[in-house]
Amino acid sequence: MTAYIGRRLLHAIPLTLGILTLVFVLVQLAPGDPAALYIQPNVAPEVIEQMRENWGLDQPIHIQYFQWMKSFVTGDFGYSLAQHRPVTAILADRIPNTLILSGTALLIIFALGIALGIIQAVRQHSALDNVLTFGSLFIYSMPSFWLALMLILIFSSKLHTVGWWPDWLTFPPSGITSSVGYESLGFWGKLADRLHHLVLPSIALGVSSAAAVARYMRSSMLEVIRQDYIRTARAKGLPERAVILKHALKNALLPIITLFGLYLPFLLSGAVLVETVFAWPGMGKTIVDAIYARDYPVVMATSFLFAVMVVVGNLIADVLYAVIDPRIRYD
Amino acid sequence: MFKVTVATGVLLALTACGGGEVASDDAVLPDSLRRGGTVVTAYHAEASSMNHFSSVDDNALELQSFVLFTTLVRYDAELRPVPYLARDWETRQTRDGLVLTFRLRDDVDWHDGRPTTAYDVEFTFDRIKDPATAYPQSSLLALYDSAVVVDSFTIVFHLQRHPGFIDPWTIITPMPRHVLGDVPPAELAHHPFGSVSPLGNGPFRFVEHRPGDRWIFEANSDFPEPLGGRPNIDRLIYRVIENPTTRLGELLDGEVDIYISVEPSQVEAIEGHPHRRVIAYPTRAYTFVNWNERRPFLQDARVRRALTMGIDRQQIVDVVRDGYGVLAKGPVPPFHWAHHEELEPLPHDRDGARALLDSAGWIDTDGDGVRQKDVVEASIELRTHPNPTREDIMALVQSDLAKIGVEARLRVQEAQSLRRDITSSERPFDAFVLGWQADFRLDDRIIFACSQIDGPFQWASYCNPRVDEILDQVTRMEDRSQALPLWHEYQEIIQWEQPYTFLYYDVRPNGVRDRVRDVTMDIRGTFINVQNWWLASDSKR
């Protein structure tokens, strides 16, 4: 197994370098450059030229490429040309925020999705199954940014005006913590404040994918419980709970693991639309802003992170297959 | 001579009803009871940096001028320069120019306790003049030659004579020499000073910056009394919230006290709330349609006049701005002293427009609804960048033009890609909708002078020798009463020749919670009297 993982990681190196080279060429091909943000009527063209020189943008593209590669392999991501600070500082700032939000969303997606899927499969064709099917399709077809806006409208704007609605069930529409007074809270107060701010964004980000996972889980589970070994398990008198959760679940999870591998990169890439709506300073917004500003060093650094996450996510999924299903072997 | 018109009647009405303060016995409240609390403001864009050497966006410049730093000179409400960090100034004429002497206040300290001196001003001047710094607005001091420090609080500038020579000092905020003096000019822009550790000398100190999220400032209790002293509020937070619905939610929710630049469609919701109010003020921005005169169809001034007359501009103001805009008539907005009061905007007159197009030889001969002349169709591609307001404007323009037999094809183009196209000297476009910001010290040569025809901003490819003559003269005339007739003539010519269709001068509504008192905003900005803001005592937090 270790040898397999090592081999996969070795393969990933040329792949990642190839991706980075491609991204480098593509962002350079896009019209404009970081200095273009300063092209304004009261800014003289000579000033723009000087900026390009100060930032090394006047060099031919292959020189810029090798310079970037050189500092990249020594672990230096360079300076953001739009934010005027080291790229590593930006990443150190944004990655925790993103991990909190997308980690919570991922938890919602899989915990909720798997649980609902199991319930629906076990009670196939019952009223509950129908209601859940309808509900999950309804939610799945909502765009996340729209859902986000609706959540804000309902839970932070409208419910304030409803007298009997408990205050703790209204939620702040933006930010990671309260703007005022957060510093003076104790540890538990801070935690509660953060969780309170996390509720709406993680729901907006998570529920529609949770609905999708529930659909997958339901069909995969239905397939498994028709198998002979499940009938055998029931026949030997095992309680239904053990049959479902011990024998059936493991096999039914296999397709879900594939999904999990696909969702992992999203832990770091964040979600642009939801981050924008909730003013959540995460990676998604960083990347999109960097692309619009042609902030080359930031675009390159984030592309590198995603490439790594995609590779690692797929690797984790493959390893998990082997863990769950002993029939799968890589050696 | 210093006649300054802040706004037309419509604007005055707007500001008057919006800016009205809460009636109470606030006026007799002792200062000590006004102290304390945090004001949270929210805007859709980040203030890029507190490093004056690398800032070009209005948000950053405004926070620098009014919050973290001090300028030598400020505008008063009539836009007359008045002393601020400079105690006073005097000028002396010499044979070949002007000698300008600033005497600085000696009681303004950097927030680390060192005094702000003439050496800081000299350092800032030197860096601005050094091309290696790439200071964006270096043209501000283009006619300044040199600076000499006389003593710690006196600095002398030698410059060429020009009108508005004092205006740059309302924008430039001196930077601390003892912090940045040793940084090579080419590396100033990347210095952590701008984003991580700015050190100011203004009414507020820097506390924290979370990039893309918020700037936090706190009151500077040592700020000198004659300049307004310690601000009333303890803290000022500038938050970045990109989505307008979220900003509205935060304002109504009470998390945000001042929502800067409200979407016009949200004004009703804010005014409907018993404890929120709207303060509207005219900005320096205007919105226009640019016509590229290198295109055969757009060469004739009659055609461009017809296009303007065909577009229902009042409808645009009413629909996309909910009335928050003033019908524009030219490149000199109402705030500017040279604004032509008597000039009327071209009327919205479809029949007149059709007649003009007919007389220019553009007639629909093949009956397809689109006029033509020889083999050229009266058809243009109208572009803008992704922006809901401007996209709406394009749709309205398209339908108006169709009614006078002109076809407009719409294209929304990514901002940088559009910028590349319009600034290219080939001008590979027909027409576009954009906004422009008029400076307090207006110089329109960059947009309309023949000499700039291949320059990055002469988008109309407009050339009229008389306009060149006027624009050259007014930038040299120091006597405003002498320049005024020329400014008026310029506005009349531009109206007759319509290189742009001027749509509207922006009026910006802002949402304010009632608990924040004594908030004044005008053409100079949002934070102009941030020192005087105070919080009603029952609602401090």
| A169/B contact by beta carbon, under 8 A | no
Give the integer Cα–Cα distance in Å for A127 and B465: 82
Report the gap between the CA of A124 and the closest CA in chain B (Å).
41
Going by pLDDT thresholds of 50, 70 and 90, the confidence category of residue A93 is: confident
Q: Does residue A314 belong to any structural domain of this protein?
A: yes
3-state secondary structure of A282: coil
Report the gap between the CA of A86 and the closest CA in chain B (Å).
9
| B194/A contact by beta carbon, under 8 A | yes
**Buried b / exposed e across B14-30, counting CB within 10 Å, b at 16+?**
bbeebbeeeeeeeeeee
Inter-residue contact B478 to B466 (CB < 8 Å)? no
Q: Which residues contact B54 (CB under 8 A, 6 or more apart)?
A: A84, B48, B134, B135, B136, B188, B189, B194
Q: What is the number of other CB atoms lying within 10 angstroms of the CB of residue B89?
A: 18
pLDDT at A331: 65
The bridge status of strand B372-373 relative to strand B376-377 is antiparallel
Inter-residue contact B198 to B205 (CB < 8 Å)? no
Q: List chain B residues with CB under 8 Å of A292.
A: 414-416
Phi/psi at B74 (5° precision): -130, 165
Q: Do A50 and A174 fall into the same domain? A: no
DSSP of B449-462, one letter per residue? -GGGTTSTT-TT--
Candidates A155, A192, A187; CA nearest to A173 is A155
Residue B274 has pLDDT above 60, yes or no: yes
Q: Does residue A27 belong to any structural domain of this protein?
A: yes
The owner of tokens 């601020």 is B84
Q: List chain B residues with CB under 8 Å of A157.
A: 248-249, 252-253
Q: Do A250 and A112 fall into the same domain? A: yes
CATH number corresponding to B33-257+515-535 = 3.40.190.10
Task: Indicate the residue among A20, A46, A76 that finishes a domain.
Answer: A76
| A271/B contact by beta carbon, under 8 A | no
pLDDT tens column, B402-417? 999 999 999 999 988 9
- Give me the number of domains chain A comprises: 2
Going by pLDDT thresholds of 50, 70 and 90, the confidence category of residue A241 is: confident
Residue B140 has pLDDT above 50, yes or no: yes
Give the integer Cα–Cα distance in Å for B40 and B214: 10
* CA atoms lying within 13 Å on the CB side of residue B265: 6
* Choice among A148-162, B65-79, B82-96, B150-164 with the minimum mean pLDDT: A148-162
**C-alpha pair distances (Å), A49 with each of A13, A255, B54, B127:** 37, 54, 14, 17
What domain range is A141 assigned to? 94-324
3-state secondary structure of B107: coil
Q: Which two tokens stand for residue A101?
A: 């939000």
Average pLDDT over every residue of A224-237 = 90
| A165/B contact by beta carbon, under 8 A | no
Q: Do A154 and A50 fall into the same domain? A: no
Q: Which two tokens stand for residue B98?
A: 């002007």
3-state secondary structure of B344: coil
Q: Do A177 and A265 fall into the same domain? A: yes
**C-alpha pair distances (Å), B510 with each of A179, B12, B526:** 20, 16, 9
Going by pLDDT thresholds of 50, 70 and 90, the confidence category of residue B114 is: very high
Inter-residue contact B529 to B518 (CB < 8 Å)? yes
pLDDT at B240: 93
Q: Does residue A83 belong to any structural domain of this protein?
A: no
Give the integer Cα–Cα distance in Å for A148 and A271: 12
CB contact under 8 A, B136 and A179: no
The owner of tokens 């964004």 is A201
Q: Do A98 and A57 fall into the same domain? A: no
Segments in B404-528 forming alpha helices (H): 415-423, 445-448, 465-474, 480-497
pLDDT tens column, A27-52? 888 888 888 878 877 788 888 888 88
Give the integer Cα–Cα distance in Å for A259 and A216: 9
CB contact under 8 A, A46 and B195: no
DSSP code, position B412: E
| A50/B contact by beta carbon, under 8 A | yes
The interface residues of chain B toward chain A in range 201-220, judged by CB-CB distance below 8 A, are 210-214
Nearest by CB to B246, which of A79, A173, A292?
A: A173
Q: Do A48 and A127 fall into the same domain? A: no
| B471/A contact by beta carbon, under 8 A | no
B163 conformational bin, left if phi > 0, alpha if psi -120 to 50, beta if neither = beta
3-state secondary structure of A174: coil
**C-alpha pair distances (Å), A212 with each of A34, A141, A321:** 40, 10, 21
CB contact under 8 A, A174 and B423: no
Which of the listed ranges A61-75, A291-305, B303-317, B474-488 does the model predict with the highest average pLDDT?
B303-317
* CA atoms lying within 13 Å on the CB side of residue B472: 10
Q: Does residue A329 belong to any structural domain of this protein?
A: no
Give bridge partners of residue B215 from the DSSP assignment: B209, B238
Q: Does residue A84 belong to any structural domain of this protein?
A: no
Report the gap between the CA of B412 and the closest CA in chain A (Å).
15
| A29/B contact by beta carbon, under 8 A | no
The interface residues of chain A toward chain B in range 142-161, judged by CB-CB distance below 8 A, are 149, 152-153, 156-157, 160
Is domain B282-507 in CATH 3.10.105.10, yes or no?
yes
For chain B, percent of residues with pLDDT exceeding 90:
79
The bridge status of strand B204-210 relative to strand B214-219 is antiparallel
For chain B, where do the domains classified as CATH 3.10.105.10 start and end?
A: 282-507
Q: At what angle do helices A127-140 and A187-225 cross, to 10 degrees?
A: 120
Going by pLDDT thresholds of 50, 70 and 90, the confidence category of residue B540 is: low
CB contact under 8 A, A83 and B38: no
CB contact under 8 A, A31 and B416: yes
| A128/B contact by beta carbon, under 8 A | no
Q: List chain B residues with CB under 8 Å of A285.
A: 212, 242
Q: Do A59 and A99 fall into the same domain? A: no
Going by pLDDT thresholds of 50, 70 and 90, the confidence category of residue A171 is: confident
Q: Where is pLDDT greater, at B475 or B371?
A: B371
Average pLDDT over every residue of A241-257 = 88
The bridge status of strand B144-151 relative to strand B154-159 is antiparallel
CB contact under 8 A, B48 and A84: yes
Q: What is the number of other CB atoms lying within 10 angstroms of the CB of residue B394?
A: 22
CB contact under 8 A, B139 and A289: no
Q: List chain A residues with CB under 8 Å of B249.
A: 152-153, 156-157, 173-174
CB contact under 8 A, A32 and B210: no
The owner of tokens 């001027």 is B502
* Choice among A177-186, A230-239, B136-145, B202-211 with the minimum mean pLDDT: A177-186
DSSP code, position B522: B
Give the integer Cα–Cα distance in Å for B222 and B203: 8
pLDDT at B4: 35
Inter-residue contact A309 to A268 (CB < 8 Å)? yes
Q: Do A29 and A110 fall into the same domain? A: no
Candidates B43, B39, B85; CA nearest to B65 is B85
pLDDT, averaged across chain B: 91
Give the global pTM: 0.87
Give the integer Cα–Cα distance in Å for B80 and B93: 21
pLDDT at B422: 93
First to last CA, chain A: 6
pLDDT tens column, B193-230? 998 899 999 999 999 998 888 999 999 999 999 999 99
Nearest by CB to A180, which of B38, B137, B246?
A: B38
Residue type, B237: I
Please give the ipTM for the structure prediction: 0.82
Q: List chain A residues with CB under 8 Å of B186.
A: 53-54
CB contact under 8 A, B246 and A277: yes
Give the integer Cα–Cα distance in Å for A297 and A90: 11
Q: Does residue A330 belong to any structural domain of this protein?
A: no
What's the distance, CA A129 to chain centroid? 29
Q: Do A122 and A69 fall into the same domain? A: no
Going by pLDDT thresholds of 50, 70 and 90, the confidence category of residue A262 is: confident
Nearest by CB to A50, which of B48, B132, B214?
A: B132
Q: Do A219 and A309 fall into the same domain? A: yes
Going by pLDDT thresholds of 50, 70 and 90, the confidence category of residue B27 is: low
Inter-residue contact B215 to B40 (CB < 8 Å)? no
Q: Does residue A1 belong to any structural domain of this protein?
A: no
Give the integer Cα–Cα distance in Å for B62 and B525: 7
Give the integer Cα–Cα distance in Å for B526 and B59: 9
| B230/A contact by beta carbon, under 8 A | no
The interface residues of chain B toward chain A in range 24-83, judged by CB-CB distance below 8 A, are 38, 40, 48-49, 51, 54, 56
* Helix H or strand E encompassing A306: helix A296-324
Give the integer Cα–Cα distance in Å for B125 and B147: 7
To probe the interface with B, which of A154, A180, A275, A280 has the most B CB atoms within 10 Å? Answer: A180
Q: What is the number of other CB atoms lying within 10 angstroms of the CB of residue B170?
A: 21
First to last CA, chain B: 47
Candidates B267, B325, B272; CA nearest to B511 is B267
Going by pLDDT thresholds of 50, 70 and 90, the confidence category of residue B26 is: low
Candidates B403, B102, B440; CA nearest to B284 is B440
| A40/B contact by beta carbon, under 8 A | yes
| A30/B contact by beta carbon, under 8 A | yes
pLDDT at A34: 85
For chain B, where do the domains classified as CATH 3.40.190.10 start and end?
A: 33-257+515-535
| A43/B contact by beta carbon, under 8 A | yes
3-state secondary structure of B187: helix
**C-alpha pair distances (Å), A92 with each of A283, A305, B463:** 10, 12, 53
A vs B, Cβ pairs < 8 A, gives: 153
Q: Does residue A167 belong to any structural domain of this protein?
A: yes
Q: What is the number of other CB atoms lying within 10 angstroms of the CB of residue B228?
A: 15
Q: Do A190 and A299 fall into the same domain? A: yes
Q: Which two tokens stand for residue B166?
A: 């004092």
Q: Do A174 and A64 fall into the same domain? A: no
pLDDT at B321: 95
CB contact under 8 A, B137 and A38: no
